[in-house]
Amino acid sequence: MIERGEDWVPPLPTGERVAGAKRRSGEGAAPTHPAKRKAGATERARELRLDETKAEYRLWGELRGRHLNDYKFVRQVPLGPFFADFLCREKSLIVEIDGSQHAESLTDESRTTWLNSHGYSVLRFWNHEVLAERRAVLDTILAVLEGQIHSPSPGLRFAPATLSPVGRGGGASHG
């Protein structure tokens, strides 16, 4: 097995590297640890929070303030070279809300692989799912949080972590 540094980002399916490409979080080199923020990341996170989509707004209304079975979520969190739409730190679960720009995205797979390798599970929904089937979306999020869904799904809709949260330097959560 090849040893890779924490800032390693897998190549795109075309073999191209993402390292020099503009990412969702902006430009520049990736920090070596997912908890370390790049310069300007806090300001960019604030901008993303202000420029939320209708689907993000609706889902945030359901997740904020521990409304979903007392699980705490935060939004637009910088993680290494990326931003997570919603993050439950206690369960290391990232919930992403994707618009049409993600339908043909080649970077989503490498992004998810990087997040998984740093101890985060990623659950994705389309904007229209959140808007039209919010109860089903919340039930799915809750099923993942409570361990009822733990296997990967086709098309990267759910991708469990490949590294335990302890392995990323965060320590085990006690709660």
The rounded average pLDDT for each run of 10 residues, N- to C-terminus, in the chain (175 residues) is: 47 44 40 53 54 88 96 92 93 90 70 93 95 96 95 86 61 39
Q: Write down the pLDDT at residue 31.
A: 44
Give which of 129, 4, 138, 126 is closest to 63, Cα–Cα.
138
Query: Which pLDDT value is given to residue 94?
Result: 97
Radius of gyration of the chain (CA): 15
Evaluate whether the domain defined by 41-164 bears CATH number 3.40.960.10: yes
pTM for the full model? 0.68
Ordered strands of the 121-126 beta sheet: 74-79, 82-88, 93-98, 121-126, 158-159
Question: Given this model, what pLDDT does residue 90 score?
Answer: 97
Specify the pLDDT at position 126: 92
The predicted structure's pLDDT at residue 9? 52
pLDDT of residue 136: 96
Nearest to 7 by CA among 33, 28, 27: 33
- The confidence score (pLDDT) of residue 163 equals 75
The structure tokens 């919930």 sit at 95
- pLDDT per residue as tens digits for the range 26-52: 434 444 555 555 556 556 445 545 567
How confident is the model at residue 16, as a pLDDT? 43
